[in-house]
Structures are given as C-alpha cells and as structure tokens.
Amino acid sequence: MRTTRVSAAAAEEGSLLRLSGLSRHFGALRVLDRIDLSVPAGTILGVIGPNGAGKTTLFNVIAGVVPPSGGTIEFGGRDVTRKPVWDRCRLGIGRTYQVPKPFSHMTVHENVLAAGLHGSGLSMRRAGEKAEEVLELTGLAHRRHLPAGELSLLDLKRLELAKALGCRPQMLLLDEIAGGLTDGECDSLLKIIERLRASGMTIVWIEHVIRALRRAADLITVLYGGELIATGRPDDVLVDQRVRDVYLGGGH
C-alpha cells in the first residue's frame, strides 16, 4: 500500500507533531514519563536537558525506532504511534544522528541519492534531481564525487543533514548536529538551518550548543528525568530557575 504524505493544508491547521501521554519504560526505568508536547508547523523547537534526560529516546520513539510504552504520536493529524520507521519517513519525518552514519565507501552524491530512492520512494530521475538540489543547499555540491569516508567532521554533519533532506521531510529531527564543531563551522550550519526554517520546514532539534538554539529556535523545551519541565521562548526558558538548577548549573 502506498503511503500518503501529510498535505501542507493539514499541517497549517494546527500542530504538525502532537505527543500525548508519551511514555517509554525499560523495565522499571522510566526514560520518558507521560510527555505532552505540540510542535506547530514551521517552528524550530529546541530540546535541551542533561545527559540521560531521555532526549535520544524521545527521538527514537518519534521516529519509530523504539515503540512507546504508552501514549500516542500524531503527525499532521494522523496517528502514527504504531507505524514503522519507513512509513513515518515517507509521511515526512526525517532524522539525523548525533554520530554521522554515512555509507563510507559510497560517494556523497550516492549517499543522498539512496535516501531519495529508499527513504522517500522516488524514481531514479526524481531522486537524482532532489540529490542535486540538496547538495547545493548544504554546500556539498563540489564534493559530490568524493567517498563519504574522506569527509571532514563538518562535511559529515552536512551529509547527515543532506541525507535526511533527500527523503523530502516535512519535519526534521536534528540530533546534536552542532556538536564538536568550531564556532565558525556551527555558524555555517546555522545558515542552512535558517534557510530551511524560511522554507517552512518544521524542525525539532536536540542540542547542547545553547548559543545555536538561542539564534535559531522559536521555542525551547527542557527534558529532565524523562519529564518536560519547561517550554517557551528561548530567553524565557533559559533564565527559568529550575532549568538553571538542573541543566545550566544554577547560574554559576
């Protein structure tokens, strides 16, 4: 059965992503505990929290890698709670990984082409066109014939983003894409992310580089001990005393 992508009209009617009572337990360990969260279409939502807060598990559950222990996930008004990863991808949920996962012996172009062919189900011609578009956007066009295993860290991050974009997502899950980069390298990635925001793409972004989120995010939500403890505009959330205590070191 062919999977139908979420229409732009449906996305504009309200939240593109809605989590209701979302939980994930590993035995007695509650990694996510009844998460309620709505992400408006076209928004960049930053997700912060200390190590072990449940951030990566949250992404894994949204993307379909790990099933929830309870609660529901709606994307564009459609219940996707039990849908597999590939269905969610074709519906428009794209994802990057904190540690880049290229096909090292394939070229940069082939990596992005594979995303379009297999992640989005495009024809060879359409996947090739999309790959060229994405390589230009991410600044990798001049490296299209280089084996992915020869890329620098910055270009590996760019390629991780390019592969996700090759799947034609309506929502991107970015997992610490700025981690390990210099300030200048981070700024070059932020320019790409700002262009994606300007195009209307919805982005949910786990990040420890707070200055990147201050610059790009419309909203920030804070995860601690598997619970959301604050959500709001970056400047409001980052001065919240509880957030400072559990994540920013109490202001010290």
pLDDT of residue 248: 58
Residues of the chain with pLDDT > 70: what percent? 92
DSSP letter, residue 251? G
CATH 3.40.50.300 domain extents, the chain: 24-92+170-252
- The answer, yes or no, to whether residue 169 has pLDDT greater than 60, is yes
Torsion angle of C-alpha atoms 189, 193, 196, 202, degrees rounded to 10: 150
The CATH classification number of 24-92+170-252 equals: 3.40.50.300
* Integer Cα distance of 140 and 134 in angstroms: 8
Q: CA distances (Å), 121 to each of 5, 96, 177, 194, in order?
A: 12, 18, 25, 27
Quick one: what percent of the chain has pLDDT higher than 90? Answer: 80
pLDDT at 67 (0 to 100): 95
Question: How does the average pLDDT of the chain come out, rounded?
Answer: 90
Cα distances (Å, whole numbers) of residue 145 to 105, 111, 133, 165, 236 = 11, 10, 15, 19, 45
Residue 21 has pLDDT above 50, yes or no: yes
pLDDT of residue 2: 33
Are residues 121 and 90 in contact, defined by beta-carbon separation less than 8 angstroms? yes
Q: Per-residue pLDDT averaged across 92-101, rounded? A: 93
pLDDT at 81: 97
pLDDT at 216 over 70: yes
Residues 112-166: tens digit of each pLDDT: 999 999 988 888 999 999 999 999 999 999 999 999 999 999 999 999 999 999 9
Whole-number pLDDT of residue 5: 41
- Per-residue pLDDT tens digits for 42-94: 999 999 998 888 999 999 999 999 999 999 999 999 999 999 999 999 999 99
> Which residue reads 């201050």 in tokens?
214
In this predicted structure, what is the pLDDT of residue 25? 94
Q: Taken in order 97, 101, 106, 107, is the CA torsion positive or negative?
A: positive
Residue length of the chain: 252
Q: What is the mean pLDDT of residues 7-32?
A: 79
SS3 state of residue 21 = strand
